[in-house]
Structure 1
Amino acid sequence: MSAQKLDITRLGGQGDGIAETPQGQIFVPFTLPGDVINAAVEKSRATLMSVLTPSPDRVTPPCPHFGPDHENAGCGGCAVQHMADAPYRAWKRDLVVAALEGRGIMAEVSPLVPCAPHSRRRVVFAARRTEKGAILGFYRAMSHQIVAIETCVIAAPRITQALPSIRRLATAVAVGKEPFHLSVLDASPGLDIAVDAPFKLSEPDRLRIITAVRSEQPVARLSFNGEILIEKQPPQLTFGSVLVSPPPGGFVQATAEAEEIMGELVSEHLKKSKRIVDLFSGSGTFALRLASHSHVHAVEADAPSLAALDKAARRAQGLKPVSVEKRDLFRRPMMVAELKAYQGLVFDPPRAGAEVQVADIARSPIPRLAAVSCNPVTLARDLEMLIAGGYRVMSVTPIDQFLWTSHVEVVALLERPKR
């Protein structure tokens, strides 16, 4: 490792500053284009030591845990808190533009829909047992070290205010030495905590954890490796106008505001479709909204999520019929013959995208599609297949529900031109 003076010329896709040197590119976290820095360099990566000349885009980070300066900083949750708002939004939008251009797609990309601080309703914490109780926080970037946090400027206020309660429950859960995760969802009437751990609980452990949860007022439910240990009241979210009780640790969109915008875009695009199929439907983020005006068939591999969707649809008033199907679309995609029954389709797959399923969608006659993704790279690959199949991209909207990170949600709307 050697100390070097570096000029940062651009920002990489993960939020690291990049310096061009005779030896090649060097990636430096917590830096920006226009920074002149001293850094400790090791091969293609470096650690920021000092900023000699700051970038004009540099601002003071709002979180005390952000940055490389001390042991409780660099929590790994955020990458670019030190960047001014306008260049940040441009960089985030450019991630989508670059992914599309990489596949030869020249579609117009809308301005980034912003995300407000303190709006993240779903946060995954890391925890580990120590002699003084559990340490609770986030992994330092590119490390297995957990950085303890006392606050979080992206998390919803109820999650931040409940950090002492979550930490006490982490201490009660930490019976093994291995690190574990707590997924915390801000729902109504209280927090839903899903623990994912590589160790097992004894019966006395279970009773102790249940007792601990009873004394923590902010917590509505706690589960361990998918098993509900205690549920004071069922946690609920609202998808459109429908109340849903999601399963423990089930997927939900990270912010309610982003979900609402995504729902509006998809619903408006598909509103004239009599029958709609929702692929990778989860607990009904889109299906239950779309059912206000269309018959919806929801397809999902996760049985608890599908059961939550079905239960919510059956209880709701004023919806069109909603049917559900448990199906692994990666192994058994819906075929063209099945898709012919629908006039609209929405798909929101995991980060890997939906390449196998999209191959059949591209050959289907469905007039209108909505493609939703948290990975612009795999979305661009899927859109390329759909365009080759005759679809036309009508709009691409990047949505920043992962504030100050390199992740961005995208909604692409497509039509098949009438013949």
Structure 2
Amino acid sequence: MSGDFAPVEDVAVNEHAAPVRETVVIDRLGHLGDGIAETPEGPLYVAFALPGERVTVERHGSRGTLVSVDIASPERVTPPCRHFSVCGGCALQHLAPAPYTAFKHRLVEDAIAAERLDATVDPIVPLPPGTRRRATFTARRTETGTALGYNGRGSHRLVAIEECPVIEPALVAALPRLNRLAARLVHPKDATRMIVTATDNGLDVALVGARRIDEAERMRLPAVAAELCLARLSVNDELIAMIRPPSLDVGGTAVVAPPGGFVQAVAGAEAALAEIVLAAVGKARRVCDLYAGIGTFSLRLARTATVHAIEGDAAALTALEAARRFAKGLKPVTTERRDLVRRPLSAKEFARFDAVVLDPPHAGAKPQVELLAKSVVPRIAYVSCNPSTLARDLAILVAGGYAIDRVVPVDQFVWSTEVEAVAVLSRRR
């Protein structure tokens, strides 16, 4: 199998250097999904190339733009999306399922091994494509109208999309409607972000960086939102229309997230993460949920335990509190707004809890983990979207006397190089 590839813009490319065309053999995949060829000049990184392949590239320093695959790997498959290799959303659609899963698993294993931790990584929990309920699109005004899509790989060039096998079918079907909305509100010069979530009651749409709207347009937009079958519309942090509450089912509790606020991108991934967390906590009666967000874990934990939920984002905490007030069958849930980087909980504050759950952002939770490691909390469940910072923080906990009972990867972001994981720990000394 061989073929030609559209040139891909890359931030590492020196546009002023004359490209050199050469043929190389790919040795391995890097952690960002690039094929890596060892050359006399050092490693050459080639997007969309696979181990064992002989490829022709145009070389720009340490980067190679794939021109053709001269000898293909048996692990190469036909990408399911026409926009692949141009759109920057996916990196691994060309890799067969088994080696793709092994690659994702290895990302977590390598991060754990880099910290010299004694932990076996469980098999990855797979998620199918077409299940992502949340997407962030970019809209720009062009010479021919308005384009809606994703940024190209390593660039700010917009790739208008007509399909996306990653997101839910409801989002794909809505693309023409969303484009019409973008045409009304896109900034005349700059890019506008459109955050769209498929909720139980319809699409929740939040535009950021849209053009300024006058009072007349503000009055017209609720009718536009209804015509486009939106549940809620927000523009530049202003609520414009709420046709129906855009609620999400969080373990049997209806939650209305703040406009554009964080939610787990795939409902199936959220359920898988929650199942692991609940099993880790077990019969704990008092649980502290750090970085609680809208209550993804707190509201589930409260079915069997009293929960203290801590979150720095006021809007997310308000959503959690509102959901708790109307929920039935929950044990007490208390909330606290707190910046856990500037003011992490002390070891003494953890003394009243039987278990701690934490789901920090990409940077991890080093300041908080350093104090958690000094606590006597029996059980910890650490949910992470970054294997490197997860491993770093686990090393701190292990040095403080915790043991890693299991690490479970969850493939929430299909065909990307991102992977979620849950680490379960217990105090040994």
TM-score (normalised: structure 1): 0.96
After superposition, residues 63-142 of structure 1 pair within 5 angstroms as: 63-67=81-85, 74-142=86-154
Secondary structure of the 1:387 match is: helix
Given that 1:270 and 1:344 are in contact with CA atoms closer than 8 Å, whether structure 2 keeps it comes out as yes
Match of 1:260 in 2: 271
1:239 aligns with 2:250: yes
Match of 1:349 in 2: 360
Match of 1:71 in 2: none
Give 1:227's aligned amino acid.
E
Within 2, Cα distance between the matches of 1:364 and 1:106?
A: 21
Within 2, Cα distance between the matches of 1:305 and 1:378?
A: 24
1:397 aligns with 2:408: yes
Match of 2:16 in 1: none
Deviations 1:350-384 (A, max 9, x none): 00000001111100110000000000000001100
Match of 2:61 in 1: 43
1:185 alignment partner, one of 172, 177, 197: 197
2:262 alignment partner, one of 251, 274, 288: 251
| Structure 2, unaligned runs of 5 or more | 1-18
Give 2:27's aligned amino acid.
T
2:71 alignment partner, one of 37, 46, 53: 53
- Superposition deviation, residue 271 in structure 1: 2.5
1:375 aligns with 2:393: no
User: After alignment, is 87-96 or 189-198 more displaced?
Assistant: 189-198
After superposition, residues 398-417 of structure 1 pair within 5 angstroms as: 398-417=409-428
Give 1:38's aligned amino acid.
T
Within 2, Cα distance between the matches of 1:407 and 1:106?
A: 23
Give 2:75's aligned amino acid.
D
- Superposition deviation, residue 201 in structure 1: 3.0
Identity of aligned residues (%): 47
| Structure 1, unaligned runs of 5 or more | 68-73
1:282 aligns with 2:293: yes
Give 1:354's aligned amino acid.
A
- Superposition deviation, residue 184 in structure 1: 0.7
Within 2, Cα distance between the matches of 1:223 and 1:31?
A: 41
Match of 1:222 in 2: 233
- Superposition deviation, residue 304 in structure 1: 1.0
Deviations 1:296-354 (A, max 9, x none): 00000111110111111111111100000011111111111111110110000100000
- Superposition deviation, residue 119 in structure 1: 0.4
How many residue pairs match? The answer is: 411
Within 2, Cα distance between the matches of 1:35 and 1:199?
A: 47
RMSD: 1.1
Given that 2:200 and 2:249 are in contact with CA atoms closer than 8 Å, whether structure 1 keeps it comes out as no
Given that 1:347 and 1:371 are in contact with CA atoms closer than 8 Å, whether structure 2 keeps it comes out as yes
Secondary structure of the 1:346 match is: strand
- Superposition deviation, residue 94 in structure 1: 0.2
Give 2:427's aligned amino acid.
R
Given that 2:91 and 2:417 are in contact with CA atoms closer than 8 Å, whether structure 1 keeps it comes out as yes
Within 2, Cα distance between the matches of 1:378 and 1:30?
A: 26
- Superposition deviation, residue 232 in structure 1: 0.4
Give 1:347's aligned amino acid.
L
- Superposition deviation, residue 57 in structure 1: 0.7
Give 1:350's aligned amino acid.
P
Match of 1:339 in 2: 350
Given that 1:178 and 1:199 are in contact with CA atoms closer than 8 Å, whether structure 2 keeps it comes out as no
Where has structure 1 moved over 6 Å in runs of 4 or more? none
Secondary structure of the 1:106 match is: coil
2:165 alignment partner, one of 141, 153, 177: 153
Match of 2:41 in 1: 23
Secondary structure of the 1:94 match is: helix
Given that 2:311 and 2:317 are in contact with CA atoms closer than 8 Å, whether structure 1 keeps it comes out as yes
1:10 aligns with 2:17: no
- Superposition deviation, residue 198 in structure 1: 6.5
Match of 1:365 in 2: 376
Match of 1:70 in 2: none
Given that 1:271 and 1:294 are in contact with CA atoms closer than 8 Å, whether structure 2 keeps it comes out as no
Within 1, Cα distance between the matches of 2:151 and 2:364?
A: 26
Match of 1:197 in 2: 209
Within 2, Cα distance between the matches of 1:318 and 1:415?
A: 29
- Superposition deviation, residue 208 in structure 1: 4.5
